[in-house]
């Protein structure tokens, strides 16, 4: 398809597509003549991912470029490639190791990982942004007087493990390695809001069942 067709099918203005091409977010098309190129379904899929990252994820172009650089790095194994792409997304700051609540939260999180046998998560704990975010969230709850200990966290972690299994089951339905990584990145940006909304709806439903509408 020509640039005009790519623009029409994606709903992205041609000038914007040209900008993405200049910035390296979108691979060049197959050169047809000195002034025209041909684009395919892979360009359309990538363009839609870029728009989701900008419009839903609110990510700056520099961050998107870094994420997509990892997505396209065929030299990396799947786990490292996926991790690098996801870790390039905006993350929580480093926790203050001198904060008593942080130290207590780290202990409870380590207990959960140990109980579940998540050895890979333990090994990545010093560099994983997800681990850092969890510690910071548990520490904040503890400061407010809500003691979220390992016993309370454990069933939530087990539920999230089931969600992760379904995530990767879906990722593995994609035909190519690049599409699998793209799907995982898209899911991080788009499916997490779905899970958050489902969680809130479930809370509303359970609240109504327990307490009615009075």
Q: Could you report the per-residue pLDDT of 55-93, keeping only the tens digit for each? A: 877 888 888 888 888 778 878 777 777 776 666 666 667
Structural contact between residues 89 and 67, judged by C-beta atoms closer than 8 angstroms: yes
* CATH code for the domain defined by 3-87: 1.10.1660.10
Q: Cβ atoms within 10 A of the Cβ of 92, count?
A: 14
34 versus 123: which is more confidently predicted? 34
Average pLDDT score over residue span 100-112: 93
pLDDT over 90 percentage in the chain: 41
Per-residue pLDDT at 100 exceeds 70:
yes
Q: What angle do CA 203, 91, 21 make, to 5 degrees?
A: 110
Structural contact between residues 25 and 61, judged by C-beta atoms closer than 8 angstroms: yes
Of the listed ranges 96-100, 113-117, 165-169, the one predicted with least confidence = 96-100
Report pTM. Answer: 0.74
Chain segment 8-57, per-residue pLDDT in tens: 999 999 999 999 999 988 988 888 887 788 999 989 988 988 988 888 77
User: Tokens in use for 64?
Assistant: 């998107």
Alpha-carbon radius of gyration of the chain: 21
Rounded CA gap, 64 and 170, in Å?
23
Per-residue pLDDT at 154 exceeds 80:
yes
Phi, psi of 208 (to 5 degrees): -65, -40
**Nearest in space to 88 (alpha carbons), one of 105, 71, 102:** 71
Residue 185 burial (10 A CB sphere; 0-12, 13-18, 19+):
buried
Residue spans per domain, the chain: 3-87, 100-211
Tell which phi-psi region holds residue 17, choosing left (phi > 0), alpha (psi between -120 and 50) or beta: alpha
Q: Cβ atoms within 10 A of the Cβ of 204, count?
A: 10
């Amino acid at each position: 398809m020509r640039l005009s067709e790519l623009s029409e099918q994606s709903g992205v203005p041609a000038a914007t597509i040209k900008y993405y091409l200049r910035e390296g977010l979108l691979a060049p098309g197959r050169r047809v003549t000195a002034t025209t190129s041909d684009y395919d379904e892979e360009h359309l899929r990538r363009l839609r991912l870029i728009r989701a990252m900008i419009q839903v994820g609110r990510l700056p172009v520099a961050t998107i470029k870094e994420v997509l650089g990892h997505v396209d790095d065929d030299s990396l194994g799947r786990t490292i490639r996926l991790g690098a792409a996801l870790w390039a997304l905006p993350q929580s700051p480093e926790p203050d190791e001198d904060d008593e609540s942080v130290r207590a939260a780290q202990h409870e999180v380590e207990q959960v990982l140990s109980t579940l046998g998540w050895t890979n998560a333990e090994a990545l704990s010093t560099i994983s942004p997800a681990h850092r975010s969890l510690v910071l969230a548990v520490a904040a709850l503890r400061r407010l007087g809500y003691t979220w200990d390992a016993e309370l966290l454990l069933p939530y972690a087990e539920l999230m493990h089931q969600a992760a299994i379904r995530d990767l089951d879906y990722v593995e339905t994609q035909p190519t390695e690049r599409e699998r990584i793209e799907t995982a990145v898209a899911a991080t940006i788009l499916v997490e809001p779905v899970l958050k909304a489902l969680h809130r709806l479930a809370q509303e439903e359970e609240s109504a069942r327990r307490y009615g509408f009075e």
